[in-house]
Amino acid sequence: MTSSLTAILLANLVLEDTVERIYHQDVFAEMWRGLYLIRGENVVLLGEIDLDQEDEVPLRQVEWSVLEPYHKQDIVNKKRREEVKSQILYEEKGFCKEGGEGDGY
């Protein structure tokens, strides 16, 4: 009998000088957030941004207060679409509607 073990490494992340960035269509806004501690069990993916390539993306920066209402509406619209999709999957395919945000992986 053979057994295979999968090691999962969970390491907390400490992020300094963090900035939150939100998008809507071809504009973005940034808000200074400072120091963040993220528990390792909440990390799914970590990567580095190529700043040279980021500069080539044709986005225009606007003030946070200008973009935030649009961003919040995008979130509401996405939640509404997901609820409709969940209802269709439940009624037509028998999928369970239990769970919530973050249960997709």
pLDDT in tens, 66-86: 999 999 999 999 999 999 998
- CA–CA gap between residue 99 and residue 42 (Å, rounded): 17
Going along the chain from its start, the domains and CATH numbers come out as 13-93 (2.30.30.100)
Angstrom distance (rounded) from CA 38 to CA 46:
12
What torsion, rounded to 10 degrees, do the Cα atoms 53, 58, 59, 60 define? Answer: 120
Whole-model pTM: value is 0.64
Percentage of the chain with pLDDT > 90?
A: 48
Per-residue pLDDT at 21 exceeds 90: yes
Residue 101 has pLDDT above 60, yes or no: no
More confident residue, 18 or 1: 18
